[in-house]
Amino acid sequence: MFEKLKTRYRESWVILRELVKTDFLLRYQGSFLGIAWSVLKPLMLFCVMYVVFVKFLRFSDGTETFPLVLLLGISLWNFFTEATTLGLCSMTTRGDLLRKINFPKYIIVISATINALICLAINLGVVVAACILSGVQFTANVLWLPLNLLQLYALALAVALLLSTLNVYFRDAQHIWEVFLQGLFYATPIIYPLSMVGDKLASVAPGVGLLVEKLMLLNPAAQVIQDIRHNLIAPLTTDTIWTLSDNLLFQLIPVVLTFVLLGLGIHVFKKYSPKFAEVM
């Protein structure tokens, strides 16, 4: 049994490695700048966001580190968007492969998310270099980053598994997800600091602003992005669910929700994947 399992997963690893390599090489094939676009795209988007929202609309927490916090948030959001979008289309774009070769179908979704993860690693290297050049003082909180990134990847993979299954049966899922992502982007404190929400709502009624901030952080995407910003760049000025609430059960809600979604995604994908080839 051990040898059988070893052989099975060795084959799966080889297929996964080749799919990741092929997808990554083909992504920028024919492009003059090639892989440099994985860095240039978030940097160009950061410049647009910074000019519009920070310089003109004055979205800022008033600290010198906010541009770096903004750049990090954009990089993390780009990963989530790319991983879920590529994962959503992965089964339909690989339909010919599914009909010709018998192998674990989840490998296709994982390869799509790993490609997005490679781009995130490159972007994080740029962010860390910018932090060093800007004189950011790193704290012991950076030790939490591997767990934060693991949660972010688990969330993206969970959504990708669910969406890829849905897209096989309902091709409208791609267009619906694009609209949903746009709304989720503005509901997540990426281009504006979370504290600005509390300040704007403070005049409505006492405690309303803090309540809304807590409710926004129940969104796992918002929670983990804020955690990574807090632990890497600005532990004193970036609010997280751990700093806004003292209730451990409340603090754990978005984390638990992430892994519940992952379990649900695995279950749904496993249940419907045997029929993918004949449906497509």
**Tens digit of each residue's pLDDT (9 = 90 or more) over 186-233:** 889 988 888 888 777 777 776 788 888 899 999 999 999 999 999 999
- Confidence band, pLDDT 50/70/90 cuts, at residue 34: low
Is 60 exceeded by the pLDDT of residue 5?
no
- Confidence band, pLDDT 50/70/90 cuts, at residue 30: low
* Average pLDDT of every residue of the chain: 84
Find the mean pLDDT for residues 11-35.
73
Of 54-58, 63-67, 180-184, 226-230, the one with minimum mean pLDDT is 54-58
Q: How far apart are CA 16 and CA 66, in angstroms?
A: 38
Residue with tokens 């979008």: 85
Residue 43: inside a domain: yes
Find the mean pLDDT for residues 147-166.
94
Q: How far apart are CA 229 and CA 233, in angstroms?
A: 6
Percent over 70 (pLDDT), the chain: 90
| pLDDT for position 250 | 92
| pLDDT for position 42 | 75
Residue 139: inside a domain: yes
Reading the block at residue 245, the tokens are 């609430």
Residue 3: inside a domain: no
The count of structural domains within the chain is: 1
Residue 1: inside a domain: no
Domain span including residue 86:
8-279
Residue 107: inside a domain: yes
Question: SS3 string of the chain?
Answer: CHHHHHHHHHHHHHHHHHHHHHHHHHHCCCCCCHHHHHHHHHHHHHHHHHHHHHHHCCCCCCCCCHHHHHHHHHHHHHHHHHHHHHHHHHHHHCHHHHHHCCCCCHHHHHHHHHHHHHHHHHHHHHHHHHHHHHCCCCCHHHHHHHHHHHHHHHHHHHHHHHHHHHHHHCCCHHHHHHHHHHHHHHHCCCCCCHHHHHHHHCCCCCCHHHHHHHHHCCCHHHHHHHHHHHHHCCCCCCCCHHHHCCCHHHHHHHHHHHHHHHHHHHHHHHHHHHHHHHHC
Q: How far apart are CA 222 and CA 219, in angstroms?
A: 5
- Give the model confidence (pLDDT) of 263-280 as tens digits: 999 999 988 888 776 766
Q: How far apart are CA 277 and CA 207, in angstroms?
A: 53
Residue 232 · residue 142 · CB < 8 Å: yes
| pLDDT for position 257 | 95
> Highest mean pLDDT: which of 42-51, 153-162, 244-253?
153-162
Residue 265: inside a domain: yes
- Confidence band, pLDDT 50/70/90 cuts, at residue 7: low
- Give the model confidence (pLDDT) of 68-117 as tens digits: 888 899 999 999 999 999 999 888 887 677 777 777 788 889 998 998 89
| pLDDT for position 1 | 60
Residue 177: inside a domain: yes
Is 70 exceeded by the pLDDT of residue 2?
no
Whole-angstrom CA distances from 253 to 198, 215, 224, 257 are 21, 11, 12, 6
Residue 191: inside a domain: yes
Burial 41-71 (b: 16+ CB within 10 A, else e): bbeeebeebbeebbeeeebbbeeebbbbbbb
